[in-house]
């Protein structure tokens, strides 16, 4: 028999990093085995420290995902290597794995003592600047670590080179309550003697004006602030710290203005380079008018990063050059994306190139109205004297098209590149199908996630908003968790959600920049749903445990509003937001009663808290919340479901909620499902649901035996439908079903985005039900393989890199024969339901079945 192999070791560190934020990080490993049905019997863990300290531990049983740290806690800056060896239940052991490096990226309690600095006399609001200091290194350096953060965004350079490739760091948190520091190893950047560090800063999220129309205001700060400490450890045991203080100096630099909504203006004639060609991050630099810095109020002591870094992920060339009816030059990049442009240009000093961004064209011209107050315009003033390369540094735009003006000489589209940026997460999920429009729909979902997972999960990336709307991620978290490893990203965001709760109430957006928190069903329920999804998809009990008080706080607050009736009624709600029948300017006017939506979510959150309490061993609280959930269920049934199985809101979302949230029992579900199918057929298989109903209607139809109705709803191409935007050339998911009208006119509503992932939550159903790959136990310890071949589809397939390894399912049709192929990772098993209804329990390995499913005969 063949020995198993350790494919990888995982640890709670940002993707592409070894730096952990906790002295006792969770760890895991993925095993590959060609032996079918392989299960782990034991695992040996060996941790080797810097002084050849060796610690060992043995895990007995199958645990290999998010295993609690079994060694002594790590010390700040400690570097260790972990390796693993496993033994299967067949008694055969693997070789030792390659070592996994782990670096303690956190600071010790009380170790942060940097002062916070800013420009002393800024000339403008949110002034971008360069901060600088020289320092001396005296001796052999064993290790040098830069801990840095900002209320704003920054990039640091030491001795002429940026310290990393990150973008817009440290990202967006509720700056007045939580800041995040990077922990960057800069040992190789230092030289013996005089060194220099220069930091470029701008405002970004910290200085932006938030709110709608005349209510927009600065929330955090009118100027960016920065703090850092460079800890130098010498080989002889000495330790020195270079920290931000009054010894630093500042100068405005070449960035004239910078904002997320407005864009960035850069004057290359103001570039900081002295006569010797040195930059501010090089010692001996002699240029510029440097001024003392201001010492400002300390920011919250920063925490080590748990969220992935924002990086430049991809570059895309110009796909087409368009001359508009008005004579403008517009570049089409073929994909609605998030990022900015990099230009290579040659001209005279003082020439200005202007770049305006938008997602769509409207009647041939750049469609900027949906951007509202966001100018989304970058300007570059040339220095002259040769080819110049420029990319904005501290802004981003959502766009497919860019209008370019002022280009000196003949324009060459090869000199312009779109740079895609977003939080750098590991891709873990894939889906494909023979249906070309559905394939493109899924690709649109993927790009919607990429564009809106930039530091925080936003609603949209292009207009004067870009906020962490809780309702959007509440419905989209399962889809996101399949496509990418979003655990650390959402773990970080949930910390902010807890901080922004007021008396349990979750605000509409996190971080909260819209004022007092108000409760809204399906939005605030992100507090209970998102931690549950992280447990379901990643086996993450740690985040669930940390968020448990937040989950209870939200549920208790809503129960207090519901009172003894156990129904949440008569208050503000978003309801089934953007029901296609709602008027463009009144998107909350849905067919489904908002009180019904609210009470359904009250049941769901109480039920999720009860389940979390059980998992965490809080038995008394589990029993109490389970009792409350049953009271809410009974009240809901009495108020909204008639004796003959009709909902008092006779609308698709109402039936879907009652079925998918398990508010009604199995017998009642079928009756409600039949009515749901009838309503869907009466609508001509067009979408009749909004933000709340759309993510779950296909589940409700499938669960109640109406797969063909679900198929017709999925494949409808007339507006409103999932595929109508695809037929209109969409490359991301739209906010409205008809963000663009059939005649090429942008929807007249003031709230129109062409990159919103919420309605793309359909993809989770494509993964779980159409392809048939889903977790049957937390973290995919057990898989559910249950494909639902759709009539007219030749195949569908999904693959997902689970915490245990790669799993996949593919079905293919040949006449009335359906062949299903599946791969189950080592150390897991699967329950299988084939399209003909036969069931199997299988272990790890590759499996193949062929069953007969006669095609549907239609009269």
Q: Tokens 């005969």, residue?
A: 857
The beta-strand segments (E) located in 383-439 are 388-390, 397-405, 416-423, 429-433
Active-site annotation holds for 735? yes
Please give the C-alpha separations between residue 650 and each of 395, 572, 636, 656, 663, in angstroms, as whole numbers. Answer: 46, 21, 15, 11, 16
d(CA 693, CA 196): 57
Q: Catalytic one among 403, 536, 618, 735? A: 735
Please give the C-alpha separations between residue 176 and each of 80, 154, 300, 542, in angstroms, as whole numbers. Answer: 34, 18, 7, 25
d(CA 734, CA 746): 12
DSSP helix/strand/coil, 496: helix
Active-site annotation holds for 161? no
Q: At what angle do helices 526-538 and 594-615 cross, to 10 degrees?
A: 50
136 DSSP assignment: E
Please give the C-alpha separations between residue 764 and each of 442, 444, 481, 577, in angstroms, as whole numbers. Answer: 10, 13, 9, 20
d(CA 756, CA 752): 9
Phi, psi for residue 761 in degrees, rounded to 5? -60, -15
Q: Tokens 């069931």, residue?
A: 839
Please give the C-alpha separations between residue 737 and each of 189, 361, 688, 718, in angstroms, as whole numbers. Answer: 52, 18, 10, 10
* Structural tokens at position 753: 């985005």
Q: Catalytic one among 465, 536, 618, 797? A: 465
d(CA 354, CA 378): 6
Cα(first)–Cα(last) distance of the chain, in Å?
56
DSSP of 560-619: HHHGGGT---SS----STT-TTS-TT-TT--SS-HHHHHHHHHHHHHHHHHHHHHHTT-H
Q: Which is nearest to 138 in space by CA: 84, 195, 94?
A: 195
Decide: 226 and 177 in contact? Cβ < 8 Å: no
How many residues are recorded in the chain? 859
Taken in order 419, 423, 429, 435, the sign of the CA dihedral is negative
d(CA 593, CA 648): 9
The C-alpha angle 342, 345, 348, rounded to 5 degrees, equals 140
SS3 sequence of 633-653: HHHHHHHHECCCCCECCCCHH
d(CA 608, CA 719): 35
DSSP helix/strand/coil, 216: coil
Decide: 597 and 575 in contact? Cβ < 8 Å: yes
Catalytic positions are: 465, 735
């Amino acid at each position: 028999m063949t020995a198993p192999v350790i494919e990888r070791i995982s640890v709670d560190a940002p993707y592409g990093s070894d730096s952990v934020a906790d002295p006792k990080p969770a760890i895991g490993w993925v095993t590959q085995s060609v032996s079918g049905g392989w299960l782990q019997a034991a695992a040996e863990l060996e941790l080797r420290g810097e002084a050849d300290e060796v610690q060992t531990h043995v895990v007995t049983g199958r645990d290999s995902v998010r295993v609690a740290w079994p060694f002594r806690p790590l010390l700040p800056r400690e570097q260790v290597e972990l390796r693993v060896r496993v033994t299967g239940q067949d008694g055969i052991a693997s070789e030792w794995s390659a070592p996994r490096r782990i670096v303690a990226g956190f600071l010790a309690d009380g170790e942060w003592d940097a002062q916070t600095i800013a420009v002393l006399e800024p000339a403008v609001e949110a002034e971008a600047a360069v901060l600088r200091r020289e320092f001396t290194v005296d001796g052999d350096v064993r290790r040098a670590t830069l801990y840095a953060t900002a209320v704003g965004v920054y990039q640091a350079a030491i001795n002429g080179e940026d310290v990393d490739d990150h973008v817009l760091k440290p990202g967006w948190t509720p700056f007045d309550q939580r800041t995040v520091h990077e922990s960057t190893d800069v040992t190789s950047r230092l030289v013996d003697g005089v060194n220099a560090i220069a930091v470029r800063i701008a405002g970004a999220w910290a200085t932006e004006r938030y709110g709608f129309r005349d209510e927009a205001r600065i929330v955090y700060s009118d100027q960016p602030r920065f703090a850092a400490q460079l800890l130098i450890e010498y080989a002889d045991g000495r330790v020195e710290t270079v920290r931000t203080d009054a010894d630093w100096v500042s100068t405005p630099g070449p960035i004239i203005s910078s904002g997320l909504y407005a864009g960035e203006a850069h004057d290359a004639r103001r570039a900081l380079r002295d006569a010797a060609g040195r930059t501010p991050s090089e010692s001996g630099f002699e240029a510029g008018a440097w001024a003392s810095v201001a010492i400002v109020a300390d920011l919250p002591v920063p925490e080590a990063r748990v969220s992935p870094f924002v990086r430049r992920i991809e570059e895309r060339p110009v796909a087409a050059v368009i001359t508009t009816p008005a004579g403008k030059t517009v570049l089409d990049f073929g994909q609605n994306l998030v990022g900015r442009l990099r230009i290579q240009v040659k001209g005279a000093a003082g020439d200005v190139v202007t770049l305006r961004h938008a997602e769509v064209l409207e009647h041939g011209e750049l469609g900027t109205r949906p951007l509202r107050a966001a100018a989304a315009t970058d300007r570059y003033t040339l220095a002259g004297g040769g080819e110049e390369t420029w990319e904005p540094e501290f802004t981003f735009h959502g766009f497919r098209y860019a209008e370019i003006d002022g280009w000196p000489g003949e324009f060459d589209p090869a000199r312009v590149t779109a740079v895609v940026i977003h939080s750098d997460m590991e891709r873990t999920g894939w889906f494909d199908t023979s249906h070309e429009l559905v394939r493109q729909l899924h690709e649109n979902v993927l790009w919607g996630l990429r564009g809106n997972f930039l530091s925080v999960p936003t609603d949209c990336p292009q207009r004067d908003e870009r906020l962490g709307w809780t309702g959007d991620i509440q419905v989209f978290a399962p889809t996101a968790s399949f496509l990418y490893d979003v655990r650390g990203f959402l773990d970080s965001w949930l910390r902010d959600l807890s901080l922004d709760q007021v008396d349990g109430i979750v605000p509409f957006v996190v971080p909260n920049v819209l004022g007092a928190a108000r409760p809204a069903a399906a939005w605030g329920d992100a507090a209970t749903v998102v931690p549950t999804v992280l447990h379901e998809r990643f086996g993450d009990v740690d985040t669930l445990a940390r968020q448990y008080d937040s989950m209870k706080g939200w549920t208790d607050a809503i129960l207090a509003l519901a009172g003894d009736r156990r129904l949440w009624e008569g208050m503000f709600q978003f309801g089934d937001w953007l029901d296609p029948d709602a008027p463009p300017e009144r998107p909350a006017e849905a067919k489904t009663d908002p009180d019904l939506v609210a009470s359904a979510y009250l049941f769901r959150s109480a039920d999720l808290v009860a389940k979390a309490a059980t998992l965490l061993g809080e038995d008394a609280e589990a029993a109490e919340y389970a009792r409350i959930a049953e009271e809410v269920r009974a009240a809901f049934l009495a108020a909204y479901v008639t004796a003959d199985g009709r909902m008092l809101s006779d609308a698709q979302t109402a039936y879907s909620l009652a079925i998918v949230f398990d508010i009604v029992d199995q017998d009642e579900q079928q009756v409600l499902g039949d009515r749901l199918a009838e309503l869907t057929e009466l609508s001509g298989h067009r979408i009749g649901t909004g933000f709340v109903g759309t993510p779950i209607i296909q589940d409700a139809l499938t669960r109640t035996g109406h797969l063909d109705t679900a198929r017709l709803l999925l494949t409808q191409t007339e507006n409103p439908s999932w595929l109508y935007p695809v037929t209109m050339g969409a490359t991301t998911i739209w906010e409205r079903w008809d963000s663009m009208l059939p005649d090429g006119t942008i929807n007249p509503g003031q709230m129109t985005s062409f990159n919103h992932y919420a309605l793309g939550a359909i993809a989770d159903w494509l993964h779980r039900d159409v392809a048939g790959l889903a977790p049957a136990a937390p973290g995919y310890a057990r898989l559910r393989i249950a494909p639902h071949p759709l009539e007219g589809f030749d195949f569908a397939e999904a693959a997902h890199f689970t915490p245990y390894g790669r799993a996949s399912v593919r079905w293919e049709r040949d006449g009335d024969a359906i062949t299903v192929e599946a791969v189950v990772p080592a150390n897991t098993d699967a329950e299988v339901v084939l399209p003909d209804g036969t069931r199997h329990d299988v272990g790890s390995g590759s499996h193949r079945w062929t069953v007969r499913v006669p095609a549907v005969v239609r009269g």
